[in-house]
Chains A and B, each alone.
Chain A
Amino acid sequence: MNNKMKGVPISVATIAIFLTLFHYLAFGSNLPPEKGGVLPEIKIPVPVNATDRSYLGLKSIGLFKIPQIKAKVVIIEIFSMYCPYCQKEAPEVNRLYSIIERNADLKDKIKLIGIGAGNSSFEVEVYKKKYNVPFPLFPDEEFSIHKCIGEVRTPYFLGVKINDDGTHRIFYSQLGKFKGAEPFLELMLQISGLKQEK
């Protein structure tokens, strides 16, 4: 191998290492968020819709971070309008929202949001309208949030506990396994610690 050829693999390796470092810096570890950990730096546009803004307790405009939602627990569904399981489970997730909203003790403590992985605003609206989704859904057209959370399959659920001092921790991070509104809510209450706080 001549000297020129010897340099080629090293150059490729250098570029690859650089890209790896860049990828990790830009998108984090590329692994799903772990229980006990915190959310990656995700900023979402504050909803234009006043109902959604009021539901989330957001007053400002611009971008917000999930722990800024006025709640003790935020349940995040990573979905896609193109995902058959998400479509099938949509009515049951809606029911979860209704159960929470009808419970005076829980309605201000638990909030639901959905993030449409790879979905445009139009596609998210189609899904929202088709299944009458009552909670705020956010598009993630370029998969930027999806990449931050490890490119999980859908539907994926994250449970985040927000502490009084503004810090937060993930208490649930799971692909699918939505076995129904009541058992899921019971699980959330148990493992978030909300039940013990009652």
Chain B
Amino acid sequence: MKKHGKFIVTLSVISIFLYSATAFCLSDAFKNNIYNPGTLKPIDSILKVKVGDSAPDFSLPVVFGGRISLDQYRGKKNVVLSFVPAAWTPVCSDQWPGYNIVEDIFDRNDAILLGITVDNIPSLFAWTNQMGTLWFPVLSDFWPHGAVADRYGVLRSDGITERALFGIDKKGIIQYIGVGDINKRPRLEILVRELEKLEKQ
């Protein structure tokens, strides 16, 4: 009976492992360096902004040097903010490499993409290097920890951010907010559709 019990426990553990496996972060570019936190609570924060609001301004350090503030694009470019939860985690690690091949779509819609995480610069440097050369700047919202994410209402209770997209027009007005299930990559077609709407504003 005892032996039988051990077998059941072993099989249960294997089953749970099988079901917790994620199909994301597929690229061999990251080898085995991705930490899998398992399935997380889909959304764990409450938005503090809404469509039609003025986007809260910020100034954050950029991975490859300098700082970027949101208001430097006012009157010049539409802006997409892409918050991803954390470096070296599934989903996030292949979301931006996908955006990296659609620079032309952003150009066509006179938009810039700003990638933001709450990781520090050294960690972001190492992580984004695995993605190839990114055409868009990656900003660190590390200190004060997640302050920008918190102003937008996408800082989760464990200190990482939601997987969130904000579309901001040239007047600095938020025209799109997409906060999806943190465990899933948002479909590119949704972002493209919103980009086209931004340019028509």
Query: Which residues on A are within 8 Å of B, measured CB to CB?
Result: 9-10, 12-13, 16-17, 19-20, 23, 30, 80-88, 117-118, 120, 122-123, 126-127, 130, 143, 146-147, 151-155, 175-176
Contacts and interface: CB of A to CB of B under 8 A. Distances in A.
Given A20-B11, A87-B97, 15 more contacts: A13-B12, A17-B11, A19-B19, A80-B27, A80-B94, A82-B26, A82-B27, A82-B97, A83-B29, A83-B97, A84-B29, A117-B23, A123-B98, A147-B23, A151-B26
A118 B24 contact: yes
A81 B15 contact: no
A6 to B, nearest CB: 11
Contacts, number: 101
A13 B8 contact: yes
Contacts of A84: 27, 29, 97, 100, 130-132
Interface string B125-151: 000001110000000000000000000
B94 A122 contact: no
Contacts of A143: 23
Contacts of B132: 84, 87-88
B9 A13 contact: yes
Nearest to B130: A84
A16 B14 CA distance: 9
A115 B42 CA distance: 28
Interface stretch (B77-85, B170-178, B184-192): B184-192
Contacts of A82: 26-27, 94-95, 97-98, 185
Interface residues of B, number: 31
Query: Which of A12, A84, A87, A120 has the most B CB atoms < 10 Å from its CB?
Result: A84
13 contacts: A13-B8, A17-B12, A23-B18, A30-B18, A80-B27, A82-B185, A86-B27, A87-B97, A117-B26, A151-B23, A152-B26, A153-B26, A175-B28
Given A83-B97, A88-B132, A123 B8 contact: no
A85 B187 contact: no
B21 interface: yes
B188 A123 contact: yes
